[in-house]
Structure formats: structure tokens, C-alpha cells
Amino acid sequence: MVWVAVPVEQVSSTEIKRYIDFLLEQGLQAHTINCHLSSIRGFYDYLKDEEELVAKNPVIRGLALRVPHPLPKHVKDNDIAEFLKSVKKPRDLAIFMLMLRCGLRVDEVANLTLDGIDYTRSQILVKSGKGAKDRVVFISHDAAVALARYLQIRLDTAEKKVFLVEKGKYRGKPISVRGIQKRIEYYSKKSGLQISCHQLRHTMATQLLNADADLVSIQEILGHTRIKTTQRYSKLSNLKAERDYHGAMEKIMAGASQQGIQLRGTREKQ
């Protein structure tokens, strides 16, 4: 199919927009269309650099389509309870509780060190988290209990990282990120629930928001660089939205009721 009836050096952003419309009509997704645009942009770069053809690149800034980002999925409370029932190893339970209650990423759990745990302040120091930034997270009572139970039976070793491989030739070595992911896959299959490490972290964020925790505080705990990342959870927090709606509506209706009484009183006087 011939898309333009003019030489390539005369193609403008208008033709590119029509091409985008055609691809959309064909049912292509934004990511695929952006790949097409990238190819066209690269072609014009080639013409300029290799063929020395003077032509303005028609794929201008802003033409690329916005790729939708799926909202993070949280786990329902009853599913969390069912999942945790299937976890029998103290080490694995402690790992999952740190994700669920402290919002740790899987790599942050794998890299957690003994000196980062402060039981006196109920805090954990996350060293070199995402973006190579340190941050402090807080530990709930149930997560602290799960962690303490594991530490009581942890292998006696000089290894500084908290969570260790317990069997096989790597016994006593730090458990890897993939090792943790395999454990949650095992328990997901055992419980019949599809749960990932990242979902546990998302669940904590949603639960905090439903419990009226401040968005900025959640951002700090999760280690998000931008508040926009944390704001995505507000779209998931239906419970909080419901409470906010009914609370605000009660105030609105109370005000309207008072105004209505005054209006009736005014009509009666007239």
C-alpha cells in the first residue's frame, strides 16, 4: 500500500498522524504502533546520516501514543489469610510478612542484613534500595514475631544477610531473588492462589490507604521517588473512596437540610 504521493523528504507529521489512525482502526495496540513510529524515525535518521538526504523527520515529539500502565493488583484479605496458612517454614513466613507488612521489594528482602534490624525501635534499615537509596521502614508486631521465630532457628553462620538457603550444596548461603520467587510460586500452587512477591507489597500499600494512612507517608515507606507512583494505589482503594464519599455526603446533606429548613421558614413568612 502506498501511503504518500509525495517524495519521502516531503512527508510531514500530517501523513504520520493518518498512518497512526489507520493502525488504530486495525486494532493495533499503542506499544505496537510506537514500534512502527520508531522504525520510521530510524529510517529518516538513516536517510540523513547515510544517504545525506535533507529531510525533516516527520515523526515529531508528541506523536507517540501513551502506553497504558496496568494498575498494581492487591490480594484480598481472605486470600492473604488462606495463603499464609499454607506457609509452614518460619523463614518463608518471615520473608512474606516483610513484604506484606513492611512493603519490601523482593530484592530488598534478599539483601536485608542482620544489622539493619532494630527491634527496639520496630524499624528496618533498607540499604541501597531501588535507586541506590537507603530508607527506614517500620515493622508491625506480627511481622516482628515471624522474623524473630526465624532468627531463633537460623543457621549459625557469620553470613550477614538475614535469609539463607537451608538445604543442598548452597546451604548457609544467602537466598537469591529467584530463590524467594520460587518459594512464593510453590506456596501459590499449594494454596491454589495466584500470588506474587510484588502483589504482597501492593497489598500493604492498598491496606494502608484504606486505613487512612497519608499518601506521602506511604510514598516514604515504599521508597517511591515520585508521588504519582504512589497515587496509583488511590485508584484501587475503593473502600477508602466509599468512606470518603459517605462521610462527605453526610456533611453536604446536613448543610442542605439546614438550608431547606430556612427556605421553608422563608416561604411560610411570605
Whole-number Cα distances in Å, 204 to 7, 105, 192? 57, 12, 21
What is the C-alpha separation between 35 and 117, in angstroms, rounded?
A: 46
Give yes or no for a contact between 196 and 102, defined as CB atoms under 8 angstroms apart. Answer: no
Integer-rounded Cα Rg, in Å, for the chain is 28
The HSE-up count of residue 205 (CA atoms within 13 Å, CB side) is: 30
Give yes or no for a contact between 72 and 198, defined as CB atoms under 8 angstroms apart. Answer: yes
- Hey, which residues are catalytic here? 105, 130, 198, 201, 224, 233
Whole-number Cα distances in Å, 11 to 38, 41, 88, 243? 16, 12, 65, 54
